[in-house]
Amino acid sequence: MITKATLQNVSALNILVNSAYRGESSKKGWTTEANILEGIRTSEEELSEIIKSPNSSFFKFTENDTIIACVLLEVKKDKLYLGMLTVSPEIQNSGIGKKILKFAEDYTIELGLPKIVMTVISVREELIAWYKRHGYLDTGIKEPFPMDNPEFGLPKQTLEFIVLEKIVK
């Protein structure tokens, strides 16, 4: 079941997101960033601020009272920004990511917005290919990665973001 996350979910969401992107636990799944970044992916403080923000919605996918996936959706002018799409490493490749992506696209339509956008680290080729298989296009826009901000992690190489988008109908 996909529902809006609350401040009571922050601790569980923090554990989930960090376990899927960084550290040894993330290597159980295919979305790991452990080979390109050290440190944490997010913090309880950041997640609390996101949940409190009037332009952001953080959704959780719950199964048997356990949060197994989540996504950040933020209204940015005429589009919806998708971030932190996370599935527990132990159950990646089970279709949950596709369900969350479909939910995000339906939510975009529900809000009356024409497109959904995201930034992806450019060296994450497998992840970019997955989004492209789901209709996302590379806009050609690149954005700098915050190389000296430990809140985003500590890069092991020079990184940049690419912007992907999908027009929803």
Percentage with pLDDT > 90 across the chain: 79
Residues 6+ away with beta carbon under 8 Å from 165? 79, 115, 116, 117, 118, 136, 137, 139
* Res. 32: pLDDT tops 90: no
Give the model's confidence band at 24: pLDDT under 50 very low, under 70 low, under 90 confident, else very high: confident
Cβ atoms of 136 and 82 within 8 Å: the answer is: no
Residue 62 maps to which CATH number? 3.40.630.30
CA atoms within 13 A on the CB side of 132: 12
Residue 152 has pLDDT above 90, yes or no: no
Nearest to 44 by CA among 5, 74, 15: 15
pLDDT of the residue at 4: 97
Q: How many structural domains compose the chain?
A: 1
Instruction: Give pLDDT tens digits for 58-106.
Output: 999 999 999 999 999 999 999 999 999 999 999 998 999 999 999 999 9
Instruction: Specify the pTM.
Output: 0.93
Residues of the domain holding 104:
2-167
